[in-house]
Amino acid sequence: MKMLRKWIVIPTTLALILTGAGAARSDAPVLELSSKLSNDPVVLNGASGGQTSSNCGYISQTPNQVVRVTADRIDYLRLSIQSSGEPTLLVDGPGGRFCVLADSVSGDKPEISGVWLRGDYNVYVGDRAGGTHPYTLSITGQTK
């Protein structure tokens, strides 16, 4: 009887954990992109940082933004952050997890560009020092 209870409790607990993780993720605003941007650049605002310490600075538990690519691929897309403090840009998507730090080469504006495949990209705007600052996220299909 004890063994049967464990087999009921474990899957139920796992289901609750997974459901909770999905619910937290859905709090992030979703920007759907099918191919070229109708308004280029797309400019979004928010607050950087968070309580979660990561290899990409302090980030929030949920993404600041979800970029959903609905086309098979977008040949070129660039995300860049303008913020005070020590901003970071973490993109977690189908191709992997990429962290970009502000430095003098980028003009203290973390950015990532390249080919974007179909799927959801969780975008976190962090801060290396743990601060919270207003940020502007620019998404463009234009090369520099």
pLDDT tens-digit profile of 26-58? 589 999 999 888 899 999 999 999 999 999 999
CB atoms within 10 A of CB 93: 18
Which of 110, 109, 77, 81 has the alpha carbon at shortest distance from 93? 77
- What integer is the mean pLDDT of 55-65? 97
pLDDT tens-digit profile of 107-120? 889 999 999 999 99
Q: From the centroid of its chain, how far is CA 32?
A: 14
The answer to whether 91 and 121 have CB atoms below 8 angstroms apart is yes
- Phi/psi at 37 (5° precision): -75, 135
pTM: 0.80
Asked whether the bond before 29 is cis by omega within 30 degrees of 0, the reply is no
**Local confidence band at 101 (pLDDT 50, 70, 90 cut-offs):** very high
Q: Which pLDDT score, from 0 to 100, does residue 144 have?
A: 79
| Distance, CA of 122 to CA of 92 (rounded, Å) | 5
**Domains of the chain by range and CATH?**
29-140 (2.60.120.380)
**Local confidence band at 21 (pLDDT 50, 70, 90 cut-offs):** very low
Model confidence at 20: pLDDT above 60: no
